[in-house]
Amino acid sequence: MPSRLLYRFRFAGLSLRIYLIIEVDRSNLQAYVFLHIYEYNHFSIPGGIAVNTKRFIFLFAFALGAIVASSPAFAHHSTAEYDMTSSTTVKGTVTKFEWTNPHAYITIESKDDKGAVVEWTAELASLGMLARINWKRDTVKVGDEITISGNRAKNGKAHMRLEKITFANGQELSGRVG
């Protein structure tokens, strides 16, 4: 069932009705946003207000369009690129910890079944979300021996969405909020 939002505006003799419809297709993990504008009734008022009204409507529609167009940005936080049906666990040594927006990253070096060194990258939540669950800039340090668990990238690369980190002393930290 789509979510519908109705906005009504009256400004300088102008009647405007804007419908914002958001539909989410859960089977394909996609969202669609539709914007419908109805009832554009304009009455000319002396003194140049008609031109200002048109400018206002244009700027308002442009701003609303920008907001609506940016709302699918949540798809960036989608789990579509990860295999959410299975979990992967890798043990290794931290070579880099990036505390940067929009996500933090941990890079570790581990050995595969044949003894070859493999560099794994784990993507964490945003810095604000991590701070809520007691992560700090110095939570993980280069040289730490850790075990990372999460959902591996579907393309087979050594990249994962971090669910949990376990330190050598047994301490565990979640990589996700909620």
pLDDT in tens, 18-75: 665 666 655 555 555 555 555 555 554 454 445 566 677 777 777 777 766 655 444 4
Q: Domain ranges for the chain, please list them.
A: 3-77, 88-174
Alpha-carbon gap, residue 133 to 61, rounded angstroms: 39
Nearest to 16 by CA among 63, 58, 47, 45: 58
- Going from the C-alpha of 64 to that of each of 36, 49, 57, 71, 176, the distances in angstroms are 11, 22, 10, 11, 32
Stated pTM of the model: 0.57
| 154 contacts 162 by C-beta, under 8 angstroms | no
Give the residue-averaged pLDDT of 100-108.
Answer: 90
pLDDT value of residue 75: 46
Q: Which residue has the higher pLDDT, 118 or 36?
A: 118
Nearest to 68 by CA among 31, 26, 16: 31
Q: Return the structure tokens found at 164.
A: 């949990």
Q: Which CATH architecture has domain 88-174?
A: Beta Barrel (2.40)
Q: Return the structure tokens found at 131.
A: 């701070």
